[in-house]
């Protein structure tokens, strides 16, 4: 029986970790330097969302052992890519659109992570409650980002930074605590060399 390759799982897990760290770093930068150019922020966030969407799709199709962190990443990965492209090519009201788009994405991600936390509890993962707490906090911050898009640019930049940082921490902890890579994992469907001739299995 052919053992499933762990390469896609490793790519997804490492990609999740790297993108999450970049989200945290971007959040800290946005908080520390709120006067940073809106165009620069838009390009960076747009690229990050597209890359994160791609990583999410890889994670979904990698079929890791627990199927927790990546279980909603088909739909969410596509959404992230679409929003990332729109952010990159939206020249008008850029900051407001970024906040609304990112706020919606992070709110949805927080809701998905709540479900993941509940599933993680059933799997016996002891830190499920921390995933749940981070998901709730991140979702609430995402809501604030959506509805506070009319405030001053500097304040908005700080709020955006807090949102990016919380999203990075949430994804980083989720992927580290729930994605288990097993080298001898077998496919979900057992492949055989049998075939039928005249209705009889050979």
Instruction: List the pLDDT tens digit at each of the 202 positions of the chain.
Output: 455 566 777 888 888 899 889 889 888 988 888 777 667 777 788 888 899 889 888 888 876 655 666 777 888 889 889 888 887 877 555 667 777 777 888 888 888 889 888 888 888 888 889 989 999 998 888 888 877 655 556 677 788 888 889 988 988 888 888 776 656 555 554 444 444 445 444 4
20 touches 40 (CB < 8 A): no
Domain span at residue 139 reads 7-180
Residue 167: partners with Cβ closer than 8 Å, 6 or more residues away: 20, 23, 27, 106, 109, 138, 142
The answer to whether position 33 is within a domain reads: yes
Give burial (CB, 10 Å; 0-12/13-18/19+) of 200: exposed
Q: How far apart are CA 78 and CA 81, in angstroms?
A: 5
> Has residue 198 been placed in a domain?
no
Instruction: Examine residue 40 and state whether it is found in any structural domain, yes or no.
Output: yes
Tally of domains in the chain: 1
């Amino acid at each position: 029986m052919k053992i499933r390759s762990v390469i896609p799982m490793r790519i997804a897990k490492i990609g999740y970790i790297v993108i999450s760290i970049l989200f945290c770093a971007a959040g800290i930068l946005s908080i520390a330097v709120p006067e940073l150019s809106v165009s620069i922020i838009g390009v960076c966030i747009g690229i990050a969302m597209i890359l994160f969407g791609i990583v999410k799709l890889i994670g979904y199709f990698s079929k890791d052992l627990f199927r927790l962190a990546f279980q909603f990443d088909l739909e969410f990965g596509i959404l992230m890519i679409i929003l990332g492209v729109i952010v990159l090519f939206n020249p008008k009201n850029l900051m407001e659109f970024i906040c609304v788009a990112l706020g919606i994405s992070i709110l949805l991600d927080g809701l998905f992570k709540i479900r993941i936390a509940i599933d993680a509890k059933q799997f016996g993962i002891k830190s499920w409650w921390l995933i749940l707490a981070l998901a709730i906090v991140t979702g609430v911050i995402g809501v604030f980002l959506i509805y506070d898009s009319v405030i001053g640019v500097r304040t908005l930049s700080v709020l955006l930074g807090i949102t990016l940082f919380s999203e990075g921490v949430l994804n980083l902890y989720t992927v580290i605590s729930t994605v288990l890579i097993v080298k001898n994992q077998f496919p979900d469907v057992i492949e055989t060399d049998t075939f039928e001739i005249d209705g009889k299995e050979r």
